Amino acid sequence: MKESELIEPIYCLNVSNLVKAEKSEYFIGKLDDYFAYRLIGKLIDKQYEKVKLGELLLELDNNLLPGDINEGDFISFCCQRLDIY
């Protein structure tokens, strides 16, 4: 294992504005709030709310997934902070 390799997902805290994305493209955008980001990734596990964003694996902290979003869909959302444990 390389020193910089993450084993666990990156946690997205205080997720909001979660919707199905119009485009199937990965995106990371910094928002004005301190550590906040707008992200677009592919939902790979609806039950455990895991999202793939390129080579990164993210886990959402809220149960906000609308019923019309399925595994394999690209989703857009904002989070107040990204964290690793």
What DSSP string describes 6-20? --SPEEEES-EEEEE
pLDDT tens digits, residue range 30-55? 999 889 999 999 999 999 999 999 99
* Choice between 62 and 40, residue whose per-residue pLDDT is larger: 40
Is there a contact between 82 and 8 (Cβ–Cβ < 8 Å)? no
Sign of the dihedral defined by the CA atoms of residues 63, 10, 24, 79, in that order: positive
Q: Model confidence at 10, in pLDDT bands (50, 70, 90)?
A: very high
Is there a contact between 76 and 10 (Cβ–Cβ < 8 Å)? no
Is there a contact between 8 and 81 (Cβ–Cβ < 8 Å)? no
pLDDT recorded at residue 7: 84
pLDDT recorded at residue 3: 67
State the average pLDDT for the chain.
92
Which pTM value belongs to this model? 0.89
Neighbours of 42 (CB within 10 A): 18
